[in-house]
Structure 1
Amino acid sequence: MRPPIVNPAMPAWGNGRRNPLVRRSRINWRTWLIVIVLLGALGVYAALPEAPFALGEAPLTGPVERVADGDTIEIGGQRIRLTGLDAPEWNQTCSRADGADWPCGRAATDRMRDLTRGAMLSCKGEGHDRYGRLLATCRAGDADIAESLVRDGLAVASGSYIRTESEARRAGRGIWQGRFDRPADWRATKTAEPQGNPSRFERFLAWLAGLFSS
């Protein structure tokens, strides 16, 4: 005699119910649209530059976020062109007394980094140039950083600091030890001036670069 056949219990999904172990994750087109719009808005925001510093207000203060070259720095999203001097561009070379080339532009940039590293600067705005940069005189405590660069012979005076430039010239410091092209003449044939304030994305990249270089 054969044993009775026992039918196994039918699972819930066998009666047309959804298997609880199988979950379908569906993202409808509305969700994708919201994600795309949010990403687009974030991209536009990152690409926009900071608003220009309003003149007539309190001095712009803060640490230096980036040193572009010997006379251009960035503070609080403002690209600042220091007044009263003109430093060699970062990739410009000059000649020593013996005629050998040396990277005077890199030396000026490195010196500006030394002058501003860890310092809280106070910059008095005087206007904006045709590229949208803030023209300003900046101080780190009692030290005028532009005058310090001229004193080291790493910039020419372009209106101020004439006496300081004469001292550097007589001492043969920096660019005054040999022959060099004035930065304005060198730029006319070699490079283009940076324009406007940096975008938020550029500031983010500069922040990352600072992390890896520190």
Structure 2
Amino acid sequence: MDRITLAFWSLVIGLCGATAFFVTGIYGQQATQQQREAKLESGDLVQLVKVIDGDTVVVSKEGQPNATVRLLGIKTLESKHGKDEVAVYGRAAEEALKRLVGDKPLRVLLNTPPRDRHGRTIATLYAGDQDIGLGLISQGHALVYSVYPFASMPVYLQAQTTARANNLGLWGDPEVSAKAEAMINEWARQGS
């Protein structure tokens, strides 16, 4: 075997080894993170610790580590991408979420299955009798994420139709609502 071929195969083997090392480390970190998170059950009362974005929060359950919860059945616009019109509505969703929750305890209703592929808990959160996801949709701050059907989807879709008809939140901006419609149409294709 000449030197170039030997160097090539040495590089390939080295890259494969490095990839395996990093992938193992990432999966190990995810498993450790999931082990450190609170074990939430339907009916648990939790407190809001942090809003990650308009559809993902960190909550705490007394005596346990924090848990990341993805709100079932909704999707808010991204808030982390600067000052474009979409980010404005993403930040508005975060603020609306904080207002809906306030300092009230949240009741957890877990989805089946209770975790997504990222290890986040998937749940509906209630502040008193208020479904937080439904509240965000009703105000025009969130879209119904229809790829995976869920029990409250018909109610969520009706609230979205009403918010759209009344030009609430993101639905009042023609450019942003066109992007939202494109997302909804894509999700409909994915879900069918």
Regarding TM over 0.5, the answer is: yes
The higher-RCO structure (CA 8 Å, 6+ apart) is 1
Q: CA deviation at 1:176?
A: 0.8
Q: Residues 1-214 of structure 1 correspond to what in structure 2 (within 5 A)?
A: 49=33, 51=35, 52=37, 54=39, 57-76=41-60, 77-91=66-80, 95=85, 103-126=88-111, 127-159=114-146, 160=153, 161-177=156-172, 178-180=174-176, 181-182=179-180
> Which SS does the other structure have where 1:115 is aligned?
helix
Q: Which residue of 2 aligns with 1:197?
A: none
| Cα RMSD after superposing both structures | 2.5
Q: CA deviation at 1:109?
A: 0.5
Q: Could you list the per-position Cα deviations for residues 84-137 of structure 1 after superposition, in whole angstroms to 9, with x for gaps in the alignment?
A: 111112235675xxxxx7711110011111111201000111111111000001
Q: Which amino acid aligns with 1:140?
A: A
- Judging by fraction of residues, say which structure has more helix: 2
Percent identical residues: 28
User: TM-score, length-normalised on structure 2?
Assistant: 0.61
Structure 2 regions of 5+ residues with no counterpart? 1-31, 61-65, 147-152, 184-192
Structure with greater Cα Rg? 1
Q: CA deviation at 1:53?
A: 5.1
Whether contact under 8 Å (1:60, 1:125) holds in the other structure is: no
Q: How many residues align?
A: 132
> Which SS does the other structure have where 2:91 is aligned?
helix
Structure 1 regions of 5+ residues with no counterpart? 1-47, 96-100, 186-214
